[in-house]
Amino acid sequence: MPPSGGDQASVLNTGTQVAKSTAPKFGIPRNAAPLAYDSQLNSIPSSADNADASSLANAKPITAGPNVGDFEQQGRASWYGRGFHGRKTASGERYDMHAMTAAHRTLPLASWVRVTNETNNKSVVVKINDRGPYVGNRVIDLSYAAAAALGMRSAGVGKVKIEGLTQQEARLAREQLASISSTE
């Protein structure tokens, strides 16, 4: 028998075993007892109670992201394309070989960088959405589109300079790219 006035926790601590009672407790059959979370549902305010609260439709977009404005690196870049197209990247996005993206070993995911081909001085702005490269002494793996824009598609590998961008710089670069694309 459990000690008088004890609850189940104290019974368990004493090591005494208690047989489960099938008798109704407080007039409610045991199998008809409400689930524990049901009592919590009544404390959740209804949507009518929050009529004055602002909706998500009025929410501002998230603009804060990793600031890598002080990052600089030089080295060899490569690109990856069709064999990886549609696979998940480290960020969870699907790899799109036609998007301006890249893989880097250490830069934060969702950060933006300017990559310049040191042979022809062409530049692109890419979003870091994957990890790599894992081959040789390369510092960045570019998407097919980024490599083509840099004139590296046929060479496969090229010497580049990587410059990190602040979120504001990245936003301006994306807006410029969008305005150029819309006029073509």
Q: Which residues pair with 142 in a beta bridge?
A: 79, 102
Query: So what's the pLDDT on residue 67?
Result: 87
Instruction: For the full predicted model, state whether its pTM sits above 0.75.
Output: no
| Domain residue extents for the chain | 72-183
Query: So what's the pLDDT on residue 10?
Result: 40
Q: How is 48-88 classified by DSSP, letter by letter? A: GGGTTSPPGGGPPPP------TT-EEEEEEEEE-GGGTTSB
- Spatial contact of 84 and 97, defined as CB atoms under 8 Å apart: yes
* Rounded CA separation 132/130 (Å): 7
Element (H, E) at 8: helix 8-14
Query: So what's the pLDDT on residue 112?
Result: 94
Query: So what's the pLDDT on residue 8?
Result: 46
Q: Which residues of the chain have pLDDT under 50?
A: 1-2, 6-21, 35, 37
Q: Is 44 exposed, middle or buried (CB count within 10 Å of its CB: 0-12, 13-18, 19+)?
A: exposed
Query: So what's the pLDDT on residue 16?
Result: 44
Query: So what's the pLDDT on residue 50?
Result: 52
Q: Can you name the CATH fold of 72-183?
A: Barwin-like endoglucanases (2.40.40)
User: By three-state DSSP, how is residue 116 classified?
Assistant: strand
Query: So what's the pLDDT on residue 60?
Result: 54
